[in-house]
Amino acid sequence: MAGAGAGGARRNRRTAGAWRVVAPALAFFLLATAPLGGGEACGPGTARAAPPRVPVLFANISRAGSDGWPVPRHAVSATGLRVDGEIMVKLQDLAQVLGAKVEGSGRMYQASRNGQTVRFYVDSPAIHYTTSYTITDPVGGRSIDYTHSWDGRAEAPTRLIDGQPWVSLNTAALALGALLVRYNPRARRAEVYDWRVFYTRPLSDPNIYVTGGPWLDSWEANAALNVSPNFRIGLDNLWDSGATDPSYLHQLKISASTLQSMENVLALTGIYFTPTNAFRSWSYNQELEGSWSRSYHMRGRAFDGGNGDLYRAAYADLRGKSRQPIDAESFWQTRNPRSRTGLYEIEKMPVGESVWLHGQREPGTDVANYGP
Ligand SMILES: [Zn+2]
C-alpha cells in the first residue's frame, strides 16, 4: 500500500474499503457490512492519480507492549488514503467505530459524540469544536451550563470523494476524544486508540467529555479557563502536563461527571485542593512508574489530589453505613446510595508510604470487555 500509483490493479479487490476485524486466532476476516464498504472510495473522479491506500487500525488497549506502544485489543481496520503526506479517513468510517454520528451536506459536515461536536469544512483545513454540559453547584444546588467552542486546524483540508467527506485522521480522531493516533512503521498502518472501540460496534459511554489539545488554535491560552466553578484546565492540572511527545502536551479529556465529583469533594471537605493530575496522555502515563496501562486518567474519568484528609472523607462517603466500601482489587467501589461525592471508585491507599485521593467515575472497573 506504500507504492503510490502502483495500486491501480488492486482497486478491484472486493475487500477494499470493507471493515476487517482483527481477532487473535482468526487473523483477518471480513464482515458483511455492505453500507460501510464501497470499494471504489479511492477515485477522486478527476484525471489525478488516485492517492495510495493506508490501512487504519482502530483499537481498544490491552496493555503496554515491550516497545512502549499500546497492544491493540478488540480492533477493527478500515482503509485510509495518503493525500499529500497526510492520512485521511472517511468521516463515516471513523464515526461508526468511535460511536459518533455524522450529519451535514454541501460544504459542512459534523461528527458528534456525547455532547461534543466537531465540524469540518470541505476544501478547508478548519475545524470547529464545541462541547456542552451541566455542573450542579453542590452547595446551592444551582445548575450551571457550560459551553466551550474552539477553532482549530487539521493537518489536511477536508475532501469530498465520491460524495463522502474524508478528514484528517489524526485531527478528527483526537478532536472526538481518542487517546492516541500514531503511524506504526513496522506494521505500515495508522493506529487509533480509543476506549470505546469494540470491533465494529462501539462500547457505550454516557459521559460528556471536554477534550482539547494542540490541534486547536491558541490552546495554551485556555490554561486559566474554568470548566467547573472551581477548576481550571491548565492551572489546576486537568490537562496532560508531562507528555514527552509534544503532539500530546496539554492534551485534555475530562468528563463532566469527574468535574462534578471534584466539586462535590471540595464541598464535602471544605478543602480547596489543586489536583496533581487529571488527564494523562499515553506517553505521560507510560513515564509514571507503576501506573496502570489502562488507567482511568487516560479515559478522562480520574483525578488525583490532596492528602489523607481527602482520602478519608471519600472513603467514608463510599462506605456509607456499611463497614467498608466494596472491595474491587486495587480500588474501593461505592456502596453508598446517598453518596455525596458521586465517586464510583477510589484507589486503595496507601500506595507505598503516600496517601492521596484518586477518585474515578463510572463506567467502572467492573464493566465487561475492558470498558470504554
Ligand atoms: Zn490517580
Residues 32 and 83 both lie in one domain: yes
CA of 304 to the centre of ligand 1 (A): 5
Residues 170 and 228 both lie in one domain: no
CA of 117 to the centre of ligand 1 (A): 28
SS3 content of the chain, % helix, strand, coil (to 5): 20, 35, 45
308 lies in some domain: yes
CA of 297 to the centre of ligand 1 (A): 6
What is the pLDDT at residue 44? Answer: 47
Query: CA dist 176 to 2, 212, 362, Å?
Result: 28, 9, 19
149 lies in some domain: no
CA of 301 to the centre of ligand 1 (A): 10
What is the pLDDT at residue 14? Answer: 39
Structural domain ending residue among the three candidates 203, 222, 239? 203
CA of 241 to the centre of ligand 1 (A): 14
Q: How far apart (Å, rounded) are the C-alpha atoms in residues 113 and 168? A: 17
User: How many domains are contained in the chain?
Assistant: 2
Residue 27 has pLDDT above 80, yes or no: no
Residues 227 and 192 both lie in one domain: no
Exposure class string for 346-362: b at 16+ Cβ within 10 A, else e: bbbbeeeeeebbbbbbb
Structural domain ending residue among the three candidates 168, 203, 238? 203
128 lies in some domain: no
What is the pLDDT at residue 370? Answer: 84
Residues 44 and 62 both lie in one domain: yes
What are 61-73's pLDDT values in tens digits?
Answer: 999 999 999 999 9
CA of 58 to the centre of ligand 1 (A): 26
Query: CA dist 229 to 53, 130, 280, Å?
Result: 47, 19, 22
CA of 302 to the centre of ligand 1 (A): 6
Residues 355 and 215 both lie in one domain: yes
Please state which of the ranges 16-30, 272-286, 314-328 shows the lowest mean pLDDT. Answer: 16-30
353 lies in some domain: yes
CA of 338 to the centre of ligand 1 (A): 24
Over residues 247-272, mean pLDDT: 97
115 lies in some domain: no
Residues 49 and 192 both lie in one domain: yes
Over residues 211-230, mean pLDDT: 97
CA of 275 to the centre of ligand 1 (A): 10
Q: List, in order, residues 6 or more apart from 341 with CB less than 8 Å away.
A: 261, 264, 265, 268, 314, 317, 318, 359
CA of 268 to the centre of ligand 1 (A): 20
CA of 136 to the centre of ligand 1 (A): 24
Residues 307 and 353 both lie in one domain: yes
Query: CA dist 300 to 38, 104, 113, 177, 312, Å?
Result: 35, 28, 15, 9, 23
**Beta pairing, strands 101-105 & 108-113:** antiparallel
Of 178, 156, 175, the closest CA to residue 166 belongs to 156
Residues 300 and 347 both lie in one domain: yes
What are 31-63's pLDDT values in tens digits?
Answer: 333 333 333 444 444 556 789 999 999 999 999
The range of the structural domain enclosing residue 30 comes to 1-104+158-203
* DSSP one-letter code for 216: B
Q: How far apart (Å, rounded) are the C-alpha atoms in residues 244 and 265? A: 31
225 lies in some domain: yes
pTM of the shown model: 0.88
pLDDT, mean over the chain? 89
Residue 202 has pLDDT above 60, yes or no: yes
Structural domain ending residue among the three candidates 149, 176, 203? 203
CA of 290 to the centre of ligand 1 (A): 11
CA of 358 to the centre of ligand 1 (A): 4
Sign of CA dihedral 41, 46, 47, 52: negative
Residues 199 and 268 both lie in one domain: no
150 lies in some domain: no
Residues 183 and 57 both lie in one domain: yes
What is the pLDDT at residue 39? Answer: 38
CA of 279 to the centre of ligand 1 (A): 9
CA of 127 to the centre of ligand 1 (A): 32
Over residues 276-282, mean pLDDT: 97
What is the pLDDT at residue 1? Answer: 32
Residues 196 and 211 both lie in one domain: no
Residues 167 and 68 both lie in one domain: yes
**Host H or E run for residue 56:** strand 53-64
CA of 238 to the centre of ligand 1 (A): 12
65 lies in some domain: yes
CA of 24 to the centre of ligand 1 (A): 31
